[in-house]
Structure 1
Amino acid sequence: MASDRIESLIARMTVEEKVGQLGVFADMVRPFAPDVNPEANVRNAEQVLEQVRAGRVGSLFNGVGVEAGRRIQQVAVEQSRLGIPVILAADVIHGMRTVFPIPLGEAASFEPELARRTARATAVEATAAGIHWTYAPAVDIARDQRWGRGAEGAGEDVVLGCAFAAARVRGFQGEDLRADDALLATPKHFAAYGAVAGGMEYAQVDISPQTLRDVHLPPFKAAFDAGALAVMSAFNDINGVPASANHALLTGILRQEWGFPGVVVSDYTADMELVAHGYAADERDATAKAFLAGLDLSMQSGFYAEHLPALVESGQVPMALLDESVRRMLQLKEAIGLFDDPYRSLDPLREADGSPVAAHDALSREAARRSIVLLKNDRGLLPLRTRGQKIALIGPFGPDRDNIEGCWTLFGDKTRYVPLDSGLRAQLEDPASLEVVAGCALEAPLPGGIEQAVAAALRTDVVVLALGEPQQYSGEAQSRVEITLPPAQQALAEAVAMTGKPLVVLLRNGRALALQGAVRDAQAIAVSWYLGTQTGHAVADVLFGRYNPSARLPVSFPQVSGQQPFYYNHPRTGRPELPSMSEFKARWREIPNAPLYAFGHGLSYTTFAYGSPQLSAPQLEWNGQLRITTRVTNTGSVAGEEVVQLYVHDRVASRVRPVRELKAFTKIALAPGQSQSVTFHLDRQQLAFTGVDGQFRAESGLFDVWVCASSVSGEAVTFELLAPP
């Protein structure tokens, strides 16, 4: 039930004022890049303020700054007829002034609590800068690494995705939505955006209802269960119906089935794009179809302001339905305390206090090093020594400051970014023992670059090759055909490898990559993603052994690009990869039907041994719980952390089941020689799936279970789920 205050407002509002609350527009009063066109900005700011004064704007987005934010709110509260405050939003994805690792990289930590902490720090910084609401987290499951927006999510697995979705929501919003540092979260993009055909941005999604429900919807439900009160619709269609006008999705599942009480906001001009889809005939038709489907808020298109009043007057859109959307928007504002304190998160003293931002450097460094995945370390090349060893840092990312953030960082403080060369030198006893050579540009050769790189390699004991994707290669509208390194970087790697010097490849990337040639064959390989503010220090911590890497892959690294889409939890086939069948089986002619590096894979500077899983019983009662315990031992000579993973496989079911599915994970820390018993619990709900009839349920029968170090390791034990009594 809405409060008396909200019901009183709705009763007094004109249709135009109601529609105004459903409009989300760019914040031209305080644009984040104000120096681009100052004259135009002044003109645009006055136009926006006039719309606020007239009650035609419910929310502004992607602006920053307290002083101008107070001006916006003053106009809304003191000069508009009804005094309804404006809610100020922004794309604050993985950091504000302090930039943390891209979400995909942070998911590699397998530590949802780390994501909660970085989201909390982000909320503190964003609300200090006059922002109430973020369009994050992205919770899309990405099974095709050609799709650029996989960088914004948590990878290819549902259980991992759900854990990080919930953690980020809790971090952004904190414990009290009315607190000055609470930042409203918006899981996106609803839904199945990560399933676009061919990994092509904005493309179609042709998907079974069962896969939609079992793979792509659960992270959203986890985010809502964690308290999210807003959700953003996706650009794509689902089986021919655009998500932003999909009644079955926005009303049937979201409202009627899940009871979601919050608002649905379109992605940027998504309602406008219904015309381009060929789903709507014109602007009026697009407005009607989007709104009647359940899209509460229209972002930037202006379609609602232009056409909703006439649609209501004609009866095509019922007034009661308009009131419901307005009610939800006003309730959102009430939930964060804007009616009682319109100037919350608009405190000049808090904005001027830089101490919280400075304090976040330590968290940025911790998150970054916990996100680095060690893929390969032949003959123990890593860690490197901080003295008595000459090191060549070769590659375009060595001194680079422009490709540290990763996608979707609008407000990062670039003056604080630590590049690789600075981070490495800071930990070397003799900084002169590090020689830095670019060798090539990000996408093109440099005159004499390879010759200089080879000469540097020959003068040193070990080479660190800093290679990867330019930052612009991942994120929105950055689909790729070949998920490989740029040719100029690959050529550099091949030339340096010819020197015979030990090679450490340090990858900077926003997706899984298909590694080739000298890069693939390097003695050591580490994935560093885009790590944010403390990049150089965090990488140096790992390279020199100050931190023992503990991250694991949240996505499968393929052998070649042509394997995409590729994901570990694919269904079994009737012709599986079995030794007894040499040719007529599910395979590619050129390569094995296997990843280069599997989901869950990652090395440490120590080693771990797993005992056989012990079950509390050979059978799981229908309403019971099965306990699975495995003893894990650090068999190496240094302390380390291990991500212990639990997978299951349903042997026989009414729908073909995945070869393995992650069901639980935990990270443990062990001293050399130390052992620890790790216990997981399984119940029937964790074994359930959506059947051919659309019902979500488990089926009795035999299951394999692994407790292991990755999606391709470990020995299975078997249990039986008993039929209901």
Structure 2
Amino acid sequence: MKKFFKFLFVLFSCHSSFCLAQNQTKEMDQFVSNLLSQMTLEEKIGQMNLSSGSMGAVLGGGELLSEAIQKGEIGATGGFSYDAAKKIQDAAQKSRLKIPILIGMDVIHGYKTIFPIPLGLSCSWDLELIEQSARIAAIEASAAGVCWTYSPMVDISRDPRWGRVSEGSGEDPWWGAQVAKAMVRGYQGDDLTKNNTIMACVKHIALYGAGEAGRDYNTVDMSHLSMFNDYFPPYKAAFDEGAGSGMTSFNLIDGIPASGSKWMMTEVLRNRWEFNGFVVTDYTSIPEMINHGLGNLKTVSALALDAGVDMDMQGDGFMGTLKTSLNEGTITMTQIDQACRRILEAKYRLGLFDDPYRYLNPERWENEIQTEDHLDAARKIAARSMVLLKNDRNTLPLKKKGKIAVVGPFAEAKPDMLGAWVLIRDAKSISSVVEGIKNVGGNAVEVVTAKGSNITDGPYLKTNLNSPFAAFMGVKMEDEPRTPQEMLEEALQVSSDADVIVAVLGESSAMSGEASSRAEIDIPKSQRDLLKSLINTGKPVVLVLINGRPLTLNWEVENVPAILEAWAPGTEAGNAIADVLFGNYNPAGKLTMTFPRSVGQIPLYYNHKNTGRPFDENNKFTSKYLDIPNEALFPFGFGLSYTTFEYGDIALNKTKLSGNDKLTASVTLTNTGGMAGEEVVQLYIKDPVATISRPVKELKNFRKVMLQPGEKKEIIFEVTSEDLKFYNSELFYDWEPGEFEIQIGTNSCHVKKASITWKK
């Protein structure tokens, strides 16, 4: 009887929730329809226009921007601060219909409290912390009047030459999907009308991370099978999680620029995935279709609207041509109404029609940005994003005594600790590595420091790093009056009587991110020369890497005793790095993107498909290179700890399954070292025989486990037929019966294996 009443309660609750959602949707439809009926054609097209004017207009809410908003010519714009956002909404309230403005911003990994770059975040393998980082970013951004973020970037990429790998979650579609969902939950919370949640914008739809040669904005050409199996899962996952908007990519899809691809924006996004939010282009991507050879501005603007694009970001294509195209009959009023409706619905969902100043509370602006709790979270998350790549002779953790030389162009750097896509760089709030080592090491540690080298002495790279945009972003390289030899001699002098040397090397913020592709992804020669000289002192050297992408580190791995991949760790960079170096936190991060030995191996990724002649070192006529080892320098899922772990053999509850059976696979994990630590236990599945060629293995689950020294724990995974599904040659999502291999281990290369058969 109790079960019956519980069933009735659940049924009633679900019915009530469904009815409430239906009523809310009905109210929104009525409101938006009524508003549309009052709007002129010009006002409707104005809602479809995202324009920020000059960057100064955004920062100050300038007069030209305000004038356009009052005329109803702008539906969305950018905003960086409370004052600018208030001016923008004030201007909207002076327009004829007083339609509030969507204020968007690239809040990629924090607003003012900056977290590690997204690639670093993904290496934490901690979805709760990743979600928390987005939640804090939403709290701070919304306190500044921002209600919409151009994030998360969920593009899968297998090419570390591409600068924007720093902004994504690596190479794996399953893991990318989990991170995408966590980010959307963090930004949007459980109620978009709350004044501390913001709308997510999933980007870039689609395939942007697969640009040829790793060059930004470059051509993409791939099969639909690769799209659906390897690249689409994170986009779909983010929309399934309820993301309110999406952004088009710059690349081609089946020969058509994404902003003009009706197959992508309507057939896949709207019809197949049932997305009901709005789509905005990336910056000026509508007029850029002219360069792709699709026609003049009027033609490509009509093409974008017909494809399913709702808002034109800074392209002036919709504003400048849609009225003419409507008169000529190449577009319809229904299409304009539909696009405008989706944008108005987004504003309704955000609660802006109830209160245009919902995100403009001066008390929140004063009290909810870069709080102590936020900084504590940034420090914790940064430490958990770092990956220990090497630790010979237990060089780490460092002792909290003696003399430590902290050397390198990033030893005292601050803005570069934030990485790419940070629009508010408050150097005063950033902890440098030198400061962090002093803070965490305590009074028994003497810290000496020297720059040692420039970031680069290469003239071509140096010129590009000193661009006007780099200066605007606060990451322009400072001119160094001393010669490279003078800097090197100073570094060697301060290191001469140190007990250990910490070399902080890598990439500046301007060397990764958008429009920052690199053909060579090693540490610049100026820094490597410094490192070689430090190694030649014979003292223990710890290399701390500050960077936004996987690097080629062959010499470093061969010669440096300890290497810590710190990425660009954010506001609390120095403190978090010191927490790891001194062992206050035992590193547990794992790589989510393969580190190649050479750019000649790229693209290199763990879940590749086999050739008809798989690699065999004993057979010349197999798929391999002659001049380098063929395996990765560091594989997907790799990461060391200050302790050690031992994996037992896989135990299965059954080896023959059928239909909806559930497989239980487990291993016993033992901490065999002398320090408590976390291990990321990874589950992979191999499908050796199918109707299409399948990857050699695919990540399907993981567990992050804390063990004390000597402690054992059984790690249990449940596998269902859902984990076996893939898109077949007909693009039908299903699984096929047969043999499967279950793999569990510490990374994608080092696993235990067990075989099963699964029938329909």
TM-score by length of 2: 0.91
CA contact (8 A) 2:57 2:64 kept: no
Partners of 1:183 and 1:73 in 2: CA distance: 16
Structure 1 position 358, deviation (Å): 3.3
1:187 aligns with 202
Structure 1 position 293, deviation (Å): 0.6
> Residue 530 of structure 1 is aligned with which of 547, 556, 568?
568
Partners of 1:548 and 1:379 in 2: CA distance: 16
> Residue 80 of structure 2 is aligned with which of 64, 71, 80?
64
Partners of 2:710 and 2:644 in 1: CA distance: 10
CA contact (8 A) 1:608 1:636 kept: yes
Matches within 5 A, 1:407-556: 407-430=420-443, 433-444=446-457, 446-518=484-556, 520-556=558-594
Partners of 2:170 and 2:381 in 1: CA distance: 17
CA contact (8 A) 2:643 2:674 kept: yes
Matches within 5 A, 1:40-59: 45-59=62-76
Structure 1 position 656, deviation (Å): 1.4
CA contact (8 A) 2:109 2:134 kept: yes
CA contact (8 A) 1:31 1:64 kept: no
Matches within 5 A, 1:274-353: 274-279=289-294, 281-353=295-367
> Residue 681 of structure 1 is aligned with which of 718, 721, 725?
718
Structure 1 position 457, deviation (Å): 3.1
CA contact (8 A) 1:186 1:232 kept: yes
Partners of 2:92 and 2:489 in 1: CA distance: 63
SS of 1:716 mapped into structure 2? strand
CA contact (8 A) 1:29 1:48 kept: no
SS of 2:346 mapped into structure 1? helix
Partners of 2:372 and 2:641 in 1: CA distance: 30
Segment drifting more, 182-191 vs 432-441? 432-441
Cα-to-partner distance string for 1:84-112 (whole Å, 9 max, x where unaligned): 11111111100111110000001000111
SS of 1:278 mapped into structure 2? coil
Letter paired with 1:18:
K
Cα-to-partner distance string for 1:419-442 (whole Å, 9 max, x where unaligned): 000100112244662221211011
Question: Aligned in 2, Cα 1:431/1:30: closer, same or farther, shift over 3 Å?
Answer: farther
CA contact (8 A) 1:67 1:348 kept: no
Mapped pair 1:567 → 2:567: no
Partners of 2:34 and 2:486 in 1: CA distance: 73
Mapped pair 1:404 → 2:417: yes
Question: Aligned in 2, Cα 1:520/1:27: closer, same or farther, shift over 3 Å?
Answer: farther
Structure 1 position 623, deviation (Å): 2.2
> Residue 375 of structure 2 is aligned with which of 361, 365, 374?
361
CA contact (8 A) 1:425 1:431 kept: no
> Residue 22 of structure 1 is aligned with which of 35, 48, 52?
48
Partners of 1:364 and 1:617 in 2: CA distance: 44
> Residue 670 of structure 1 is aligned with which of 707, 710, 715?
707
Question: Aligned in 2, Cα 1:10/1:86: closer, same or farther, shift over 3 Å?
Answer: same
Structure 1 position 534, deviation (Å): 0.5
CA contact (8 A) 2:131 2:186 kept: yes
Letter paired with 2:296:
D
Letter paired with 1:415:
K
Letter paired with 1:562:
G
Cα-to-partner distance string for 1:110-138 (whole Å, 9 max, x where unaligned): 11111100100011100001101000010
> Residue 641 of structure 1 is aligned with which of 665, 668, 678?
678
Question: Aligned in 2, Cα 1:611/1:479: closer, same or farther, shift over 3 Å?
Answer: same
> Residue 151 of structure 1 is aligned with which of 142, 147, 166?
166
> Residue 588 of structure 1 is aligned with which of 587, 612, 625?
625
Cα-to-partner distance string for 1:461-480 (whole Å, 9 max, x where unaligned): 22111110121110001111
Partners of 1:143 and 1:684 in 2: CA distance: 27
Mapped pair 1:215 → 2:252: no
SS of 1:642 mapped into structure 2? strand
Structure 1 position 306, deviation (Å): 0.9
Structure 1 position 663, deviation (Å): 0.6
Structure 1 position 554, deviation (Å): 0.7
Partners of 1:32 and 1:9 in 2: CA distance: 27
Matches within 5 A, 1:644-723: 644-722=681-759
Question: Aligned in 2, Cα 1:337/1:431: closer, same or farther, shift over 3 Å?
Answer: same
CA contact (8 A) 1:612 1:631 kept: yes
Letter paired with 2:645:
F
Structure 1 runs (4+) greater than 6 angstroms displaced: none
TM-score by length of 1: 0.95
Letter paired with 2:63:
E
2:5 aligns with none
- CA RMSD in angstroms comes to 1.6
Letter paired with 1:59:
A
> Residue 178 of structure 1 is aligned with which of 180, 184, 193?
193
Structure 1 position 516, deviation (Å): 3.3
Letter paired with 2:735:
A
SS of 2:719 mapped into structure 1? strand
SS of 2:290 mapped into structure 1? helix
Partners of 1:506 and 1:558 in 2: CA distance: 19
SS of 1:370 mapped into structure 2? helix
Partners of 2:380 and 2:497 in 1: CA distance: 33
Letter paired with 2:559:
D
Segment drifting more, 609-618 vs 163-172? 609-618
Partners of 1:128 and 1:29 in 2: CA distance: 21
SS of 1:694 mapped into structure 2? coil
Cα-to-partner distance string for 1:49-89 (whole Å, 9 max, x where unaligned): 1211111111111x223344233223323x22222111111
2:461 aligns with none
Partners of 1:521 and 1:560 in 2: CA distance: 17
Partners of 1:477 and 1:325 in 2: CA distance: 30
Partners of 2:84 and 2:332 in 1: CA distance: 37
CA contact (8 A) 1:484 1:561 kept: no
1:10 aligns with 36
SS of 1:343 mapped into structure 2? coil
Letter paired with 1:107:
S
> Residue 241 of structure 1 is aligned with which of 235, 256, 277?
256
Structure 1 position 621, deviation (Å): 1.8
